[in-house]
Structure formats: structure tokens, C-alpha cells
């Protein structure tokens, strides 16, 4: 089966800084992949490149064989680290908005998840706490039937109970053809759900391996390995 | 997808402007009644003064809010955190610009019409309306004499100039905001400087162009008929070029230089 994401010599430079340096990476379909690295290592830059919010300085990046553009936006569901929903909208209006712009959006599923987390669809976004806003965003993003989910720090701001529910949601809501790319530094919390990990450090790819391989070959948890690789 | 963007954009603007139009309408009615009553003597004279003051404030509010919303919707919705949503929708970046532009133009025109209608509502009576009609028809006949029957052409050109001028001004603000957004920090100052910069460059170009046209057609420029015959068409053409330029420059920045924080 073809790769969902393919990076060839992908490089992104800002004025004075190389955010990503010559990344060669291929991600298969049907995996849950942790994109791990310390702050400022280039995780968000990679995710922004996947979503067409940045343009590579050199090299290419393809999603299901296409360069980032309207076609790839149809198959990529993106959760940024920002609260990006207009704060004047009601939760129900954000659902209508997603329904209008994403053909793969499943309204019924979104309302079910809201109900499970006891979120009132009639509330306005601005009245919600930061953690609750993040829950709403994650619900919207996971209610799409996408091929690639890019979740940038999806569990940073929510309480541990909601964290478990959200991780469960992620695992149970993606189909076998879809890949979930989760960027985080809260490794211990998500370690159990990951199939693969990608380590990046100062813009360079350090490691791309399956979690089982790491456990059997190195005899270590991902959290331990991460602490070793990124030791300060 | 453009129609969906347009629909949501109209809605996002309406939540500010429709209530304001309603306030303007109510204050117009109140003032009409109060002016008609003419019974406020002595201390009561404060009532008509206050009501006319509130009315003027509401007119200013409609104009100022329309202007601020045009800027805020572009900046906040596309270039602040909401940009993460808008630029990952399954739409092209030029559709985002067009939807914003169309919506802004429509609301500006409706705000002008709303103010105009409210002035009629407050001050017009059968006498003044027939007087206005009379003056308009008189003016038209005089124009017809001056322009030797080319008045229709003149008005078509003026209408096009007005529409293009409006679009040109909105796009110039959009481009200035997009350029300001390229700076890391001081984005507002950057937008302002960009706006002043674009204005100065364009005014220089237009002055030079006007001087060239004036010297080539020295004879005919002094003829009033040159307005509909070639000065307005040249103006329309120039504005059209600027519109295209601003539009593509803004779209280029969105496609290649997006700098969301």
C-alpha cells in the first residue's frame, strides 16, 4: 500500500534558522505515529508544511501522492495547537461550519462525542474554558473521515480523565486506511497507543521505528529512550 | 465553495451591522416624530437636542463600524489564530480573498444606503422630495447640454469608477495587512507603513501618468468632452490594473509567505 506521507529532502528555513533540515520520511497508512521531540525541534513546522500553511524551502512533501493543496486538505484533518475556532460561534455553529466545508465530516458522530463529554452544543465558544475549547476542536477534527490526522499537542491542556477519553476517541475513530500523527512531549501518556515513533531534534530526523521494535531490541520504553536521546 | 465562504462571511458581518442598522432606524423614527412635534420649550428643549445627538452618533457608528469590521474580518479571521482554520479548509486562498472582498463591498454599500435612507426618513416630506426631484432633473438637463448627449456614457463610467474605486480601496487595505503580517512582531505598524507606502507609490505613478496624458493630449484635455471620451476610460483602466496587481500580490503572500503565529 502506498505511503500516506512522503518527505524527500524536506527543508524549511526561516530567516536565521533552519527549522527542518533534509528530512526523508515515509509514513504508511493505518498507523498511530508519535511525532516526538523537545520544544523547538521542528514538530509544528513539519505539521504546518503538511497542511500547506508553510511552503518548503527545498525538497518535497506529498500526501497520498499529491503536493499540499486543496486536494490534500480534503484528506488531512488538522488539529493545530491554537484555539482556532471563532469565539463568537456556538458549538453547534462550528459543527455546521465543518459540515459545510468538509465533505467527510460526520455530524452525528460529533454530536455523540459532545454528548459523551457532557458539552452543551448551544454554548458559545468564548464562554468555554481553554481545555473545553480544545475538546470541542478535537471532536470536530476526529469527526472527519480523513486519511491523515495531524494532531499538534492534542492533550496538553485537558485533564487526565478527558485525556483518556480523547485517546480512546482517537484510537476508536480512525479507520484502517488512516494514519494518525500525534505531536507531543507528553510521551508517557500516549506511549501505549502508538504503533510507531518519529524523533526529531533540532530539525533533523533522529529515529523512525516501530514501538515494538524499540521495546524488543532496546528493551526500553519510548519514554526512557526519549529521555536518553534528548538528554540535556 | 465560494458561495459557502460568502454565506458564512455575510453572517459574521451581519451580527454587528444588522443591530446597528436597527438602532439607526429606530433613532430616525424617534427624531422624525420629535421634529414634527415642535413642543419642547424651556428645559424640555434638551429632548430634541439629545435625540438628534444620539442620531448623529448612530450614523457615525454605522460608518466607523463598517470600516473597522472590514479590516478586522480580514485580519482576525485570516491572519490570527482563526487563520489555522480558514487556510486548512478545502478552498483556495483566492476564494478566501474574494469572499472577504465581496462581503466588505456589499456591507459598505448597504451602510451608505442605510444612512441615506435614514436621512430621508428623518427629514424628507412631500415638498422636499419634489424639490430634490426637480433639482436632479434640472441638473441632468444641464449636464446633457454640457456633454452633448453623452450623459448616459458619463454615468455608466462614473458608476464603474465608483465600484472599481471601492474594490480598489478595499484591496489596498488587504494588501497592506498582508504585507504587515510578513513582519515578525509590529504587524500593525507594518500594515500601516505598508498602506502609506503603497499609497505614495501609486499616487506618484498616477501623477506621472496624468502629466503624460495631459501633455500628449493638451488640446483635448481642456475640452469637457474629454472626460467621458478618454479621461474616465483611462482612469477605469488604471484602477483595474491596480486591482489585479493588489489581488495577485495578496494571494501570492497567502500562498507562499503565510506567517501564522
Q: What is the pLDDT of residues A54-67, one digit of tens each?
A: 999 999 999 999 99
Q: Is B97 within a domain? A: yes
Residues B25 and B117 in one domain: yes
Q: Is A57 within a domain? A: yes
| Planar angle of CA A177, A2, A21, nearest 5 degrees | 105
Residues B120 and B6 in one domain: yes
Give the pLDDT confidence score for residue B230 in this predicted structure: 80
Contact assignment for B255 to A55 by CB distance below 8 Å = yes
Q: What is the CA radius of gyration of chain A?
A: 17
Q: Is B129 within a domain? A: no
Strand partners, A197: A34, A209
Contact assignment for B90 to A76 by CB distance below 8 Å = no
A176 touches chain B (CB under 8 A): no
Structural domain tally of chain A? 1
Residues B139 and B259 in one domain: yes
Residue carrying the nine cell digits 429632548: B47
**Structural domain harbouring B109:** 1-124
Residues B147 and B196 in one domain: yes
pLDDT level of residue B41 (50, 70, 90 thresholds): confident
Q: Find residues 37-76 of chain A whose CB sits inside 8 Å of chain B.
A: 48, 51-55, 70, 73-74, 76
SS3 B111: helix
At A94-144, the pLDDT tens digits run 999 999 999 999 999 999 989 988 899 999 999 998 888 988 998 999 999
Last residue of a domain, which of B95, B124, B153? B124
Last residue of a domain, which of B105, B124, B143? B124
Give the pLDDT confidence score for residue B149 in this predicted structure: 77
Reported ipTM exceeds the 0.85 cut: yes
d(CA B142, CA B138): 6
Q: How many CA atoms lie within 13 A of B122 on its CB side?
A: 20
Indicate if the pLDDT at residue A2 is higher than 80. Answer: no
Give the pLDDT confidence score for residue A188 in this predicted structure: 81
Contact B87, B258 (CB under 8 A): yes
Least confident of B7-16, B44-53, B90-99, B239-248: B44-53
**Edge-to-edge strand ranges of the sheet holding A204-210:** A76-79, A148-152, A179-184, A32-36, A196-201, A204-210
At A31-56, the pLDDT tens digits run 999 999 888 889 999 999 999 999 99
Residues B257 and B210 in one domain: yes
Q: How many CA atoms lie within 13 A of B45 on its CB side?
A: 3
Give the percent of chain B with pLDDT over 70: 98
Residues B38 and B96 in one domain: yes
Last residue of a domain, which of B83, B102, B124? B124
Q: Which of B81, B88, B256 sits opposite A51 (nearest CB)?
A: B88
Q: Min CA distance, B43 vs chain A (Å)?
A: 44
SS3 A94: helix
Q: Is A194 within a domain? A: yes
Residues B35 and B98 in one domain: yes
**Structural domain harbouring A158:** 5-87+148-229
Strand pairing class (A32-36; A196-201): parallel
Residues B112 and B234 in one domain: no
Range with the largest mean pLDDT of A147-161, B20-34, B130-144, B146-160: B20-34
Indicate if the pLDDT at residue A166 is higher than 80. Answer: no
Give the pLDDT confidence score for residue A64 in this predicted structure: 92
Q: Is A131 within a domain? A: no
Q: Region B33-50: what's the mean pLDDT?
A: 81
A with B: how many residue pairs have Cβ under 8 Å apart?
Answer: 55
- The CATH number of whichever domain residue A18 belongs to comes to 3.40.50.300
Residues B5 and B93 in one domain: yes
Q: Region A177-194: what's the mean pLDDT?
A: 86
Q: Which of A73, A83, A100 sits opposite B88 (nearest CB)?
A: A73
Residues B105 and B155 in one domain: no
Amino acid at each position: 500500500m502506498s505511503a500516506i506521507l512522503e518527505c524527500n529532502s524536506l527543508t524549511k528555513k526561516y530567516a536565521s534558522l533552519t527549522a527542518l533540515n533534509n528530512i526523508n520520511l515515509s509514513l504508511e497508512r493505518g498507523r498511530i505515529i508519535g511525532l516526538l521531540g523537545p520544544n523547538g525541534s521542528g514538530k509544528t513546522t513539519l505539521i504546518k508544511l503538511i497542511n500547506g500553511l508553510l511552503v518548503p524551502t527545498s525538497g518535497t512533501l506529498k500526501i497520498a501522492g499529491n503536493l499540499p493543496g486543496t486536494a490534500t486538505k480534503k484528506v488531512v484533518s488538522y488539529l493545530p495547537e491554537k484555539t482556532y475556532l471563532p469565539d463568537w460561534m456556538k458549538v453547534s455553529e462550528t459543527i455546521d461550519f465543518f459540515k459545510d466545508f468538509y465533505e467527510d465530516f460526520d455530524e452525528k458522530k460529533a454530536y455523540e462525542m459532545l454528548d459523551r463529554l457532557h458539552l452543551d452544543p448551544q454554548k458559545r465558544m468564548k464562554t468555554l474554558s481553554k481545555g473545553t475549547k480544545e475538546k470541542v476542536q478535537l471532536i470536530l477534527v476526529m469527526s472527519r473521515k480523513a486519511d491523515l490526522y495531524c494532531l499538534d499537542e492534542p492533550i496538553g491542556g485537558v485533564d487526565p480523565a478527558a485525556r483518556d477519553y480523547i485517546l480512546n476517541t482517537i484510537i476508536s475513530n480512525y479507520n484502517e486506511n488512516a494514519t494518525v500523527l500525534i505531536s507531543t512531549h507528553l510521551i508517557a501518556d500516549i506511549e501505549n497507543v502508538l504503533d510507531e515513533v518519529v524523533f526529531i531534534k533540532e530539525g533533523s530526523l533522529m529515529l523512525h521505528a516501530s514501538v515494538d521494535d524499540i521495546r524488543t531490541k532496546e528493551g526500553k520504553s519510548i519514554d526512557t529512550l526519549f529521555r536518553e536521546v534528548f538528554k540535556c | 465553495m465560494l458561495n459557502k465562504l460568502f454565506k458564512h462571511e455575510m453572517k459574521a458581518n451581519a451580527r454587528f451591522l444588522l443591530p446597528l442598522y436597527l438602532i439607526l432606524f429606530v433613532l430616525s423614527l424617534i427624531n422624525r416624530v420629535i421634529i414634527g412635534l415642535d413642543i419642547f420649550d424651556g428645559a424640555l428643549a434638551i429632548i430634541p437636542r439629545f435625540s438628534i445627538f444620539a442620531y448623529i452618533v448612530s450614523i457615525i457608528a454605522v460608518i466607523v463600524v463598517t470600516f473597522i469590521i472590514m479590516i478586522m474580518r480580514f485580519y482576525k479571521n485570516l491572519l490570527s489564530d482563526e487563520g489555522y482554520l480558514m487556510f486548512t479548509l478545502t478552498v483556495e486562498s483566492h476564494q478566501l480573498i474574494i469572499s472577504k472582498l465581496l462581503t466588505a463591498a456589499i456591507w459598505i454599500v448597504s451602510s451608505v444606503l442605510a444612512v441615506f435612507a435614514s436621512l430621508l426618513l428623518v427629514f424628507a416630506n412631500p415638498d422636499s422630495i419634489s424639490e430634490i426631484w426637480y433639482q436632479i432633473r434640472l441638473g441632468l438637463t444641464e449636464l446633457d447640454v454640457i456633454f452633448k448627449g453623452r450623459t448616459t456614457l458619463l454615468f455608466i463610467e462614473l458608476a464603474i469608477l465608483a465600484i472599481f474605486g471601492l474594490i480598489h480601496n478595499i484591496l489596498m487595505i488587504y494588501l497592506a495587512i498582508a504585507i504587515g503580517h510578513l513582519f515578525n512582531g509590529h504587524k500593525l505598524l507594518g500594515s500601516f507603513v505598508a498602506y502609506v507606502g503603497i499609497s505614495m507609490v501609486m499616487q506618484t505613478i498616477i501623477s506621472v501618468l496624468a502629466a503624460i496624458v495631459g501633455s500628449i493630449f493638451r488640446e483635448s484635455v481642456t475640452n469637457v468632452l474629454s472626460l467621458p471620451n478618454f479621461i474616465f476610460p483611462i482612469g477605469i483602466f488604471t484602477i483595474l490594473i491596480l486591482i489585479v496587481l493588489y489581488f495577485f500580490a495578496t494571494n501570492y503572500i497567502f500562498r507562499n509567505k503565510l506567517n501564522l503565529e
